[in-house]
């Protein structure tokens, strides 16, 4: 895939992470950094390239890793020729998934290892992994030398008036048959980088200086590759070949990974991974500075980093992930500036600078929160309580100390429900969008707030306890809330969120709304080793209905348009090697309401509103535009064509937003003609058609308040569906009264 593409690669999210310790959480205080790259690094492949060799500890660790995989993994693992072939393909793809470094002849020669890696690993040899990497190591050094020479000597020759294009996604492209063919791929690739900087307003010398520094930095970083890097990459690939959530961490990467499990985090609160030469934001930590700022997004790619409010932006494209992390970490209260390519943008010409003040990510910042929204329904005001739960948290340390007020998502939600009942809400929505999970016991207990007693989840263990399935449930008959309930989810609602949503759906205790959930229905365990540690899948979740949450996730009763619909490669089902969906025996349970019987009528009423809703029309258009953008196969290198296309896209987005505002009776935005005014290009200034110029600031403030009053359209529609539900239930459900006959859904 082209480095400027915003695409999430199929399983590349997992594969690229293994190169440098999977995702590293940006936490802790600033650590000592390595010396800065030398920009006068010699451009001589013979001087730079020295094959790297393994050490005895590497072979010993490989044997122990295989033993852990074979004896403790949930699935039955056969270390055979098929396993070897999977490892070979995954390793090659992790190193060069875009086919920009290896030549076809390299792959042909290395294919001799396709069916022998299993035997080598069993014998305690990782030499094949090192030999494959050494070929890649030499090729990537050659490419960086080519890039430096191309930038420093040929930028002035580039013609941006001719019709040339660069292929966006090279995952399925063939490997170059010759060095000349590879040079041509890189000529176009470098030309695209030059064009991106031209479109930001840089002159020729500025472009040469920036790109020369970038590629020389990359060359310097790559030349520091050591045996630990290769071993980590190879062993992580071996582990990930079993399933995408199993991985190996070397001692250094174990330290970084374990740091990420802390509940008190100091930094910007983000997880990073690598994709091609870019460092990419994999996830924002709920309650962290980055998430609170609402500017940095998952999928954004970092181009450069600046320290403080005015420190020079330093290019980090191609830099090792741990070195990027070292630049972003810092003391609480200090500012770091990230120049990022937004997830929905294509090239560096769309990059924006995001300023983040480092802080401590505290457990209370991730706590459940509530609000009450009001909407008109059949001429009456309908009050809906919203509980936003960002994660299923539990302060184990405080609880073990015996603290009476330890933090717990269940305890917090219980208190919020009591407050909402005092406010006399008509219904409650539990918002689990973007909730990636957390404590299993908390998910179990949270279900218990809405049911009397009963099972909430089943867990099937394998390995040493092959085939044993155990159900967990709520034994406390107290019900914190008995009224109408909805659960709002999306594609990034995962794990514990899926357990909660699945149980509420199976019991027909509430209506599940939104998008299909992630589908992570497996449980991992960290197992220490003499040299590093392995994160191993040990068990699997099942709903009380017997259906696995793995792979398929939870399908909502009523689906909302979800921006993640444009990204077909998000979710467990998109990951290579993901464990399959299956079923176990259902447990006995009793539904609380006849929700499934009402879903057709609820769906019909929702469809009628959604077809006319300005917000839903706009959202569906956005999703479709993103989908079309992601389906593009090429990027033009004709400057005029690129400018025209960018302006057309900006106009389409502007017109769509104004149509939404027109249909809602809001003040229209005014078109900004100057595309070079960065701030104006990033956000449209809203002004009244009749307001004098000197009142623009006041109008902007009023417009901002007006925007705030609009509310989240998905939450508002959730409230309307609950109002429909109450209307369809002649008794206006106000208490839970389970029937007497157990049945399975």
Q: Which residues are catalytic?
A: 495, 506, 520
Q: Strands 265-267, 359-361: parallel, antiparallel or unpaired by DSSP?
A: antiparallel
User: Residue 525 and residue 520: Cα distance in Å, rounded?
Assistant: 15
Alpha-carbon distance of 102 to 92, in angstroms, equals 9
Cα three-residue angle 671-677-679, rounded to 5 degrees: 85
| DSSP 8-state class, residue 595 | H
Residue 448: half-sphere exposure toward Cβ, Cα within 13 Å: 20
Q: Which residues contact 730 (CB under 8 A, 6 or more apart)?
A: none
- Give one word for 354, left, alpha or beta, with left for phi > 0 and alpha for psi -120 to 50: beta
Report the distance separating Cα 420 and Cα 134, nearest Å.
Answer: 62
Count other Cβ atoms within 10 Å, centred on residue 125.
Answer: 17
Of 288, 293, 296, 297, nearest in space to 268 by CA: 288
Structure tokens that stand for 614 in this block: 């300005």
Q: Residue 698 to residues 144, 240, 681, 691: CA-CA distances in angstroms?
A: 52, 56, 21, 10
Q: Which of 153, 134, 196 is nearest to 43 (CA)?
A: 153
Which one, of 230, 8, 252, 24, lies nearest residue 129 by Cα?
Answer: 230
DSSP state of 574: G
Cite the DSSP H helix spans in 199-286. 204-222, 227-240, 251-259
DSSP state of 408: B
Helix axes 496-506, 440-448, angle to 10 degrees: 30
* DSSP string for 323-354: HHHHHH---TT-EEEEEEE-TT--SGGG-EEE
- Number of separate helices (H) and strands (E) present in the chain: 23, 22
Name the H helices within 484-560: 496-506
Distance separating alpha carbons of residues 675 and 624, to the nearest angstrom: 24
Q: Mapping DSSP to helix (H, G, I), strand (E, B) and coil, where does residue 277 land?
A: coil
Q: Which helix (H) or strand (E) covers residue 303, if one does?
A: strand 301-307
The answer to whether the Cα torsion of 502, 504, 510, 514 is positive or negative is negative
Comparing CA positions, the residue from 630, 683, 6, 3 lying closest to residue 342 is 6
Which of 98, 95, 90, 136 is closest to 114 using CA atoms? 90
Measured between alpha carbons, how far is 437 from 441 in angstroms, rounded to an integer? 11
C-alpha 73/C-alpha 76 separation (Å) is 7
Is the Cβ–Cβ distance between 496 and 439 less than 8 Å? yes
CA angle, residues 484, 485, 486, in degrees to nearest 5? 140
Q: Across the chain, which distance is largest between two alpha carbons, in Å?
A: 83
């Amino acid at each position: 895939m082209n480095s400027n593409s915003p695409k999430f690669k199929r399983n590349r999210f997992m594969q690229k992470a293994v190169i440098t310790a999977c995702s590293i959480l940006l936490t802790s205080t600033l650590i000592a950094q390595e010396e800065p790259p030398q920009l006068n690094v010699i451009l001589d492949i013979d001087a730079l390239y020295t094959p790297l060799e393994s050490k005895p500890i590497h072979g010993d660790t490989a044997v122990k890793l295989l033993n852990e995989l074979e004896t403790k993994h949930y699935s039955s693992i056969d270390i055979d020729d098929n396993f070897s072939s999977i490892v070979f393909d995954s390793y090659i793809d992790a190193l060069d998934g875009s086919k920009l470094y290896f030549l076809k002849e390299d792959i042909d020669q290395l294919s001799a290892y396709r069916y022998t890696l299993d035997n080598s690993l069993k014998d305690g040899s990782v030499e094949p992994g090192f030999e494959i990497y050494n070929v890649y190591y030499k090729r990537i050094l050659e490419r960086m030398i080519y890039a430096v020479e191309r930038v420093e000597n040929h930028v002035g020759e580039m013609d941006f008036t001719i019709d040339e294009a660069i292929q966006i996604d090279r995952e399925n492209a063939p490997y170059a048959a010759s060095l000349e063919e590879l040079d041509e791929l890189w000529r176009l690739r470098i030309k695209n980088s030059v064009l991106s900087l031209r479109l930001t307003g840089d002159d020729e010398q500025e472009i040469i200086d920036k790109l020369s520094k970038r590629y020389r930095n990359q060359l310097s970083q790559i030349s520091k590759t050591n045996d630990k890097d290769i071993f980590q990459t190879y062993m992580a690939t071996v582990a990930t070949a079993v399933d995408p959530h199993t991985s190996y961490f070397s001692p250094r990467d174990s330290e970084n990974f374990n740091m990420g499990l802390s509940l008190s985090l100091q930094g910007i609160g983000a997880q990073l991974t690598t994709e091609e030469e870019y460092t990419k934001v994999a996830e924002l930590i709920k309650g962290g500075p980055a998430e609170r700022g609402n500017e940095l997004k998952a999928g954004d790619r970092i181009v450069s980093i600046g320290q403080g409010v005015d420190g020079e932006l330093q290019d980090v494209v191609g830099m090792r992930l741990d070195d990027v992390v070292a630049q972003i970490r810092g003391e609480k209260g200090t500012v770091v500036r990230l120049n990022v390519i937004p997830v929905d943008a294509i090239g560096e010409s769309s990059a924006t600078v995001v300023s983040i003040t480092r802080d401590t990510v505290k457990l209370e910042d991730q706590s459940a929160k509530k609000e009450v929204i009001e909407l008109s329904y059949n001429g009456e005001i309908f009050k809906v309580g919203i509980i936003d739960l960002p994660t299923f948290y539990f302060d184990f340390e405080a609880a073990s100390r015996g603290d009476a007020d330890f933090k717990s998502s269940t305890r917090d939600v219980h208190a919020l429900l009591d407050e909402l009942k005092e406010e006399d809400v008509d219904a409650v929505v539990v918002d689990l969008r973007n909730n990636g999970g957390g404590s299993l016991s908390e998910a179990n207990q949270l279900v218990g707030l809405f049911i009397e007693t009963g099972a909430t989840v089943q867990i099937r263990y394998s390995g040493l306890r092959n085939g044993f399935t155990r159900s967990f449930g709520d034994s406390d008959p107290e019900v914190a809330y008995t009224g109408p309930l909805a659960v709002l989810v999306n594609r990034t609602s995962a794990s514990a969120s899926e357990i909660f949503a699945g149980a509420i759906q199976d019991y027909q205790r509430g209506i599940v709304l939104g998008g299909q959930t992630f589908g992570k229905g497996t449980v991992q365990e960290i197992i220490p080793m003499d040299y590093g540690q392995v994160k191993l899948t040990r068990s699997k979740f099942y709903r009380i209905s017997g259906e696995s949450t793995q792979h398929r996730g939870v399908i909502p009763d009523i689906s909302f348009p979800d921006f993640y619909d444009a990204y077909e490669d998000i979710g467990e089902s998109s990951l290579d090697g993901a464990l399959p969906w299956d079923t176990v025996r259902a447990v006995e349970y009793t539904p609380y309401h006849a929700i499934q019987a009402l879903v057709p009528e609820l769906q019909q009423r929702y469809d009628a509103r959604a077809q006319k809703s300005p917000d839903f029309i706009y959202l569906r258009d956005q999703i479709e535009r993103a989908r079309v953008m992601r389906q593009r196969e090429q990027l033009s290198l004709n400057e005029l064509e690129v400018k025209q296309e960018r302006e057309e896209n900006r106009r389409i987005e502007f017109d769509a937003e104004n149509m939404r505002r027109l249909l809602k009776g809001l003040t229209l935005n005014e078109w900004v003609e100057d595309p070079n005014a960065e701030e104006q290009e990033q956000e449209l200034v809203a002004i009244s058609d009749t307001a004098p110029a000197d009142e623009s600031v006041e109008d902007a403030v009023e417009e901002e308040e007006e925007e705030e009053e609009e509310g989240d359209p998905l939450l508002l529609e959730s409230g309307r569906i609950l109002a429909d539900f109450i209307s369809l239930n002649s008794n206006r459900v106000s208490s839970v009264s389970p029937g007497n006959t157990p049945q399975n859904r």
